[in-house]
Amino acid sequence: MTLLLALLAAGAFAQTSDPAPLQFSDVAEEKRFHQLTAELRCVMCQNQSLADSNAQIAHDLRREVLAQMRLGKDDAQIKRYLVDRYGEFVLYRPTMQRGTLVLWFGPLALLLAGALIVWRIVRARSRQPVAEPDESQEW
Amino acid sequence: MNDTPASAPAPAPNAPRPPSRGALAFAVIIIGLFFIGLMALLYYGVQQSDRPDRESLPSPLIGKPAPAFDLPLLHDSNRRATNATLAGEPYVMNVWGSWCPECRVEHPVLSRFALTKRVRFVGYNLKDERGDALRWLEQYGNPYMLVVADVEGRTAIDWGIYGAPETFLVDGKGIVRWKHVGAVTDAIIAQQLIPALEKIEAER
Nearest to A86 among B55, B132, B162 (CB): B162
pTM equals 0.75
Is B114 in contact with B186 (CB distance < 8 Å)? no
Nearest to B157 among A61, A88, A131 (CB): A61
A30 Cβ contact partners less than 8 Å away, ≥ 6 residues apart: A24
Residues of A whose CB is below 8 A from B97: 15
- The beta strand positions in chain A, using DSSP E, are none
Q: Which of A14-18, A135-139, B140-144, B155-159 has the lowest mean pLDDT?
A: A14-18
CA–CA separation, A81 and A120 (whole Å): 49
Q: Which of A121-130, B10-19, B46-55, B178-187 has the highest mean pLDDT?
A: B178-187
Nearest to A57 among B14, B152, B162 (CB): B162
Listed residue (A138, A46, A25) closest to A92, CA to CA: A46
Listed residue (B155, B100, B161, B102) closest to B133, CA to CA: B100
Distance from CA of A79 to the nearest CA of B (A): 14
Do residue B99 and residue A17 have CB atoms under 8 angstroms apart? no
Residues of B whose CB is below 8 A from A46: 55
CA–CA separation, A42 and A58 (whole Å): 6
Distance from CA of B143 to the nearest CA of A (A): 22
Ordered by start, the domain boundaries in chain B are 17-50, 70-203
Distance from CA of B58 to the nearest CA of A (A): 7
Structure confidence at residue B148 as a pLDDT band (50, 70, 90): very high
Q: What value of ipTM does the predicted structure carry?
A: 0.76
Per-residue pLDDT averaged across B53-80, rounded?
A: 92
Nearest to A86 among B97, B129, B160 (CB): B160
CATH 3.40.50.1100 corresponds to the domain B70-203: no
Question: In CATH, which of 1.10.8.640, 3.30.230.30, 2.40.10.10, 3.40.50.880 is domain A15-95?
Answer: 1.10.8.640
- Examine the pLDDT at A3 and tell me if it is beyond 60: no
- Determine contact: B23 vs chain A, CB below 8 A: no
